[in-house]
Amino acid sequence: MKRPPKDNEESARKISRRAALLGGAQMVFAGVLVLRMRSLQLGQSEEFRLLADENRINIRLLPPARGMIVDRNGALLAGNVQNYRIVLVREDAGEPRAALERLAQLVPLTPEDIERAEREIMRHRPFVPVTIMDQLNWEEVARVAANAPAMPGITPEVGWTRFYPYGAEFAHSVGYVGPVSEADLAARENPDPLLMIPRFQIGKIGVEREYEETLRGSAGHRRVEVNAVGREMRELDRQEGDPGSNIQLTLDRRLQAFTLARLGEDSAAAVVMEIQTGNILALASAPSFDPNLFVRGISVAEYSALRDNDHRPMSNKTVQGAYPPGSTFKMVTALAAFEAGLTTPDERVYCPGYLEAAGRRFHCWNRGGHGRVNITSALAESCDVYFYDLSQRVGIDLINAMAERLGLGIRYDLPLSGVSSGLNPSREWKRDRRGADWVIGDTINASIGQGYVLATPLQLAVMTCRLATNRAIMPRLVHAVDDIEQPIPDQPPLGLNPANLAQVQRGMWEVSNSQRGTAFGSRIVAEAMRLAGKTGSSQVFSITAAERAAGIRSQSELPWNRRDHALFVCYAPDVDPRYAVSVVVEHGGGGSSVAAPIARDIILAAQNGGLPPVEAYPSAQRNRIESMIRTISEQIGPPATPDDARSRA
Partner 1 sequence: MSYLEYNVKRSPSGLRKVLYVNWALVLLLSAVASIGFLQLYSVSGGNFDRWTEPQMQRFGLSLAVMFTIGFVPLWFWRSMSVMGYAVSFVLLLGVEFFGTVGMGAQRWLELGPIRLQPSEMMKISIVMMMAAYYDWLDIKRVSHPFWVLVAVLLIVVPAFLVLIQPDLGTALMIIGAGGMVMFFAGVSLWYFGAVIGLGVGLVTAVFMSRGTSWQLLRDYQFRRIDAFLDPTLDPLGSSYHINQAMIALGSGGWSGRGFMQGTQSRLNFLPEKHTDFIFNTLAEEFGFIGSVFLLTLYIGIIVTCVIAAMQAKNRYASLLILGIAGNFFLYFAINMAMVMGLAPVVGVPLPLVSYGGSAMLMILIGFGLVQSACIHRPREKS
Rounded distance between C-alpha atoms, residue 118 and residue 113, angstroms: 8
- Are 152 and 162 contacting, i.e. CB atoms less than 8 angstroms apart? no
CB of 4 to partner 1, least distance (A): 10
Residue 634: exposure state from Cβ atoms within 10 A (0-12, 13-18, ≥19): exposed
Stretch that binds partner 1, among 215-223, 224-232, 337-345, 628-636 (CB under 8 A): 224-232
Q: Which of residues 526-565 bind partner 1 (CB under 8 A)?
A: none
| 232-239 vs 220-226, strand pairing mode | antiparallel
- The DSSP bridge pattern shows strands 532-538 and 484-485 to be unpaired
Task: Tell me if 300 contacts partner 1 by CB under 8 A.
Answer: no
4-12, 476-484, 589-597, 608-616 -> range binding partner 1 (CB under 8 A): 4-12
Biggest alpha carbon–alpha carbon distance for the chain: 155
CB of 43 to partner 1, least distance (A): 9
Binding status of residue 55 toward partner 1 by CB under 8 A:
yes
Q: How far is CA 104 from CA 97, 158, 168, 565, in A?
A: 10, 20, 33, 53
Burial class (CB in 10 A: 0-12, 13-18, 19+), 76: middle
By the 8 A CB rule, do 268 and 596 touch?
no
**18 interacts with partner 1 by CB under 8 A:** yes
DSSP 298: -
Specify the 3-state DSSP secondary structure of 99: helix
Q: Which of 8, 299, 554, 641 binds partner 1 (CB under 8 A)?
A: 8
Cβ distance to partner 1 smaller for residue 27 or 439: 27
Residue 185 near partner 1 by CB under 8 A: no
Residue selected from 82, 181, 218, 227 as contacting partner 1 according to rule CB under 8 A:
227
Q: Is 16 in the site for partner 1 (CB under 8 A)?
A: yes
Interface with partner 1 by CB under 8 A: which range of 61-69, 147-155, 222-230, 427-435?
A: 222-230
Q: Which of 34, 59, 196, 236 binds partner 1 (CB under 8 A)?
A: 34
Query: Among the candidate windows 20-28, 341-349, 509-517, 633-641, which touches partner 1 by CB under 8 A?
Result: 20-28
Count of CB atoms situated within 10 Å of the CB of 31: 10
44 binds partner 1 (CB under 8 A): yes
Binding mask 228-257 for partner 1 (x = CB under 8 A): xx---x------------------------
Pick 15 or 98: Cβ nearer partner 1: 15
Catalytic residue among 327, 391, 417, 514: 327
- Select from 571, 502, 564, 563 the least CA-distant residue to 534: 571
Q: How many residues of this chain bind partner 1 (CB under 8 A)? A: 44
C-beta of 25 vs 550, nearer to partner 1: 25
Beta carbons within 8 Å of 443's beta carbon, 6+ residues apart: 391, 392, 394, 395, 396, 399
Instruction: Closer to partner 1 by CB, 49 or 348: give it.
Output: 49
Kindly state the smallest distance separating residue 300's Cβ from partner 1, in Å: 41
Minimal distance in Å, beta carbon 47 to partner 1? 7
Task: Answer yes or no: are the C-beta atoms of 268 and 584 closer than 8 Å.
Answer: yes
Q: Decide whether 38 or 119 has the Cβ nearer to partner 1.
A: 38
Three-state secondary structure call for residue 131: strand
Q: Is 327 a catalytic residue?
A: yes
Per-residue exposure over 226-261, b if at least 16 CB sit within 10 Å of its own CB, e if not: eeeeeeeeeeeeeeebebbbbbbbbbbbbbbbbbbb
Residues annotated as catalytic are 327
Q: Contact positions toward partner 1, by CB under 8 A?
A: 1-3, 7-8, 10-12, 14-16, 18-19, 22-23, 26-27, 29-30, 32-34, 36-38, 40-42, 44-45, 47-49, 51-53, 55-56, 225-229, 233
